[in-house]
Amino acid sequence: MKILGISAFYHDSAASIVVNGEIVAAAQEERFTRKKHDPAFPSNAIRFCLEYSGLELKDLDAIVFYDKPLLKFERLLETYYAFAPSGFRSFITAIPVWIKEKMFLKRLIREELDKIGKYNTKKTKLLFPEHHLSHAASAYYPSPYDDAAILTIDGVGEWATVSICHGKNEKITILKELRFPHSLGLLYSAFTYFLGFRVNSGEYKLMGLAPYGNPKSPDIKKYIDTIKTHMISIKADGSLWLNQDYFDYATGLKMVNESKWEKLFGFPTRKPEDELLQHHCNLGLAIQEITEEVVLLMAKEAQKLTGSKSLCLAGGVALNCVSNGKVQKSGIFENVFIQPASGDAGGALGAALAVHYMYYGNTRSINYTMDALKGSYLGPTFSDLDVELMSKKYNAQYTYYPNFSDLASETAKILASENVVGWVQGKMEFGPRALGGRSILGDPRSAEMQKKLNLKIKYRESFRPFAPSVLASDVEEYFDYKGISPYMLLVHPVADKIKKALPQGYEEMNLREKLYHLRSDLPSITHIDYSARIQTVHEETNPRYHELISRFKDLTGVGVVVNTSFNVRGEPIVMTPNDAYRCFMRTEMDYLVVGNYLFNKKDQPDWQEKDNWKEEFVLD
């Protein structure tokens, strides 16, 4: 059974191939086109998946799109009708696009596929599962559980904004849904917008900003009470009602009614590059705490409805690592699995898996210990020839190491000397996290590393935290956590023994004063609230990254490195050696490692291209 899954036309378009239930390949279109969150039909990702699996379109049993466009169109029409006459401007903007393109999506998909190859439309079925079923399937089927509650939370699919499902063996049963316009994901996105970050892109920035709120400030309770009094009503099962007087996303062209929000909170919508002030941080903390409260209530309801010991999470809100950590630590479930590509990209994979098991009725076999995602290393790789061709193109100078262990030892020395290293190895990761395949690495012991990475390499907001990659066997040594976290989707506190005491009056300090206070022995990966977004590194899924960190531990006694995605602000994560070298040369990165090749910035010729990455990539 050979199935191609596709997600497209909203954001984070992607493709995946599932063969006899095995996840063979998956990739996001943005990595090929270099347009972040690219919503276009994923022609490049499809070609990669077919080529890597050795298949052509004519070999496929099914091609599966991740949602039902006609149901979504129904929701749009009913929403405009319910809110009429408001929303007319949005109506005349959106509806012609739907009538011209998305109403005839089946035809559009077939036209795009015809550009890739030919196939028999009678033999190869074109199928459309529901959006939230695709999310649920993306989390449940790769998980190591044969009985699990499945909680999917996002902005909106067709109608559903939250769904609770029960996965048992091959079957997924939808038990309960929350419907548009009431949405936890859209609520969080509304605050993302109001605090000056881009919707569908900047939600993780809001999550990173929240700990800079002062938990002792009376403003936190005031903001929470204000939100709960005027904007939302939270029920015991985690469902919520949003007062649409304060929101504009249902029929308007913006997320919020800005004048009402300004009156409610006492300050205007923050512009993207404006200074972050304490009231911004405090409001960020307030909405993060409300989000965690709601997610915990939903998790309790999911456990009550299913009786399962395990939970699978997907949907955009499942990328909120802080709330994930709270769910895991709550003990509501014994086991928690989170889909690393929880957003729309993962829907491509889930759609293919749902059809394999639920449409064709294939038997599910759990023959793996961790999960079926292979560490999320499902994307394109490269050869030595690719690196050498790139080097000739730019006259790049390198040292080649025939023995990778020698390169790992040399790179560990470079990291221990507080250099920043671009690290490109093997298959590209599927999902928004760099997991040691396309990463920028640093020394977590360095007091200056966070500042250097943010301001000189990533060119992004200085408050943004960095994640630790830790040897799976050493996680308890540095963090208050005993499990695994291979996909960097859980936040837990650092261990007490590496914490440093806070100075008197710390809570009253402003953001900048707090930012560079040394909070632990590993300051570059310890966030403002003593937490860290942990990635456990496993030899069986990424032996090269595991060996590098092991050599770093031999040298320094610390089995942790700083890991951030290999890109600059607004750019998709690099995919090819060419992408990596360009990013390397346009930043203040010190070294680049691609496969067995080491590039020292000091040895490189002057960068001749006069391009400006700030003009090439739209800032997120």
List pLDDT tens digits, range 141-180: 999 999 999 999 999 998 899 999 999 999 999 999 999 9
pLDDT at 359: 97
Sheet with 125-127: list strands edge to edge. 22-28, 14-19, 2-7, 62-65, 125-127
Residue 183 pLDDT grade (very low, low, confident, very high; cuts 50, 70, 90): very high
Looking at the fold, whether 305 and 428 belong to one and the same domain comes out as no
Paired residues of 23 in beta bridges: 18
The angle subtended at Cα 135 by Cα 374 and Cα 249, nearest 5°, is: 135
Is the pLDDT assigned to residue 617 strictly greater than 60? yes
Which residues are CB-neighbours of 406 under 8 A, at least 6 positions away? none
Tokens of 165: 């499902």
Residue 379 lies in a domain: no
Angstrom distance (rounded) from CA 287 to CA 293: 10
Residue type, 249: Y
Looking at the fold, whether 443 and 493 belong to one and the same domain comes out as yes
| CATH code where residue 428 lies | 3.90.870.20
Read out DSSP for 4-54? Answer: EEEE-SSSS-EEEEEETTEEEEEEETHHHH--TT--S--HHHHHHHHHHHT
Looking at the fold, whether 419 and 436 belong to one and the same domain comes out as yes
Chain segment 290-348, per-residue pLDDT in tens: 999 999 999 999 999 999 999 999 999 999 999 999 999 999 999 999 999 999 999 99
Q: Cβ(319)–Cβ(343) under 8 Å?
A: yes
What is the average pLDDT across 561-584? 96
Looking at the fold, whether 77 and 162 belong to one and the same domain comes out as no
Is the pLDDT assigned to residue 253 strictly greater than 90? no
Sign of the dihedral defined by the CA atoms of residues 330, 331, 333, 339, in that order: positive
Residue 285 pLDDT grade (very low, low, confident, very high; cuts 50, 70, 90): very high
Q: Which of 542, 492, 533 is nearest to 373 (CA)?
A: 542
What is the chain's length?
620
Looking at the fold, whether 487 and 605 belong to one and the same domain comes out as yes
pLDDT at 453: 84
Paired residues of 184 in beta bridges: none
Residue holding tokens 């360095």? 446
Residue 433 lies in a domain: yes
Q: Cβ(465)–Cβ(533) under 8 Å?
A: yes
pLDDT at 271: 94
Other beta carbons less than 10 A from residue 476's beta carbon? 12
Looking at the fold, whether 147 and 133 belong to one and the same domain comes out as no
Tokens of 573: 């994560």
Angstrom distance (rounded) from CA 134 to CA 505: 49
Q: Cβ(49)–Cβ(28) under 8 Å?
A: no
Angstrom distance (rounded) from CA 314 to CA 154: 8
What is the average pLDDT across 195-206? 92
Residue 377 lies in a domain: no
Looking at the fold, whether 227 and 165 belong to one and the same domain comes out as yes
What is the average pLDDT across 548-569? 97
Q: Cβ(251)–Cβ(245) under 8 Å?
A: no
Structurally, the chain folds into a number of domains equal to 3
Looking at the fold, whether 356 and 243 belong to one and the same domain comes out as no
pLDDT at 612: 63
Residue 247 lies in a domain: yes
Task: Tell me what the pLDDT averaged over the chain comes to.
Answer: 93
| CATH code where residue 98 lies | 3.30.420.40
Domain-ending residue, one of 338, 357, 392: 338
Looking at the fold, whether 228 and 333 belong to one and the same domain comes out as yes
Q: Cβ(119)–Cβ(51) under 8 Å?
A: no
Residue 378 lies in a domain: no
Angstrom distance (rounded) from CA 204 to CA 581: 27
Angstrom distance (rounded) from CA 98 to CA 71: 12
Q: Which of 518, 521, 591, 590 is nearest to 556 (CA)?
A: 521
pLDDT at 264: 97
Angstrom distance (rounded) from CA 465 to CA 87: 39
Residue 164 lies in a domain: yes
Residue 569 lies in a domain: yes
Chain segment 554-564, per-residue pLDDT in tens: 999 999 999 99
pLDDT at 611: 61
Tokens of 36: 């972040």
576 backbone φψ class: left, alpha, beta (φ>0; ψ -120 to 50): beta
Q: Between the CA of residue 164 and those of 161, 301, 321, 562, what are the distances in Å?
A: 10, 8, 19, 35
Peptide bond into 144 cis (omega under 30): no
Looking at the fold, whether 51 and 128 belong to one and the same domain comes out as yes
Residue holding tokens 């512009």? 271
pLDDT at 102: 65
Read out DSSP for 248-296? Answer: -TTTSSSSB-HHHHHHHHSSPPPPTTSPP-HHHHHHHHHHHHHHHHHHH
- pTM given for the model: 0.94
Angstrom distance (rounded) from CA 29 to CA 37: 8
The distance from CA 279 to its chain's CA centroid, rounded to whole angstroms, is 27
Residue 435 lies in a domain: yes
Domain-ending residue, one of 349, 372, 395: 372
Domain-ending residue, one of 317, 338, 359: 338
Residue type, 534: I
3-state SS, residue 214: coil
Sheet with 171-179: list strands edge to edge. 171-179, 160-168, 147-153, 310-314, 335-338
Q: Between the CA of residue 267 and those of 140, 194, 223, what are the distances in Å?
A: 43, 10, 12
Angstrom distance (rounded) from CA 432 to CA 405: 29
Looking at the fold, whether 105 and 86 belong to one and the same domain comes out as yes
Structural domain that includes position 474: 384-616
Looking at the fold, whether 55 and 2 belong to one and the same domain comes out as yes
Which residues are CB-neighbours of 358 under 8 A, at least 6 positions away? 129, 137, 170, 171, 172
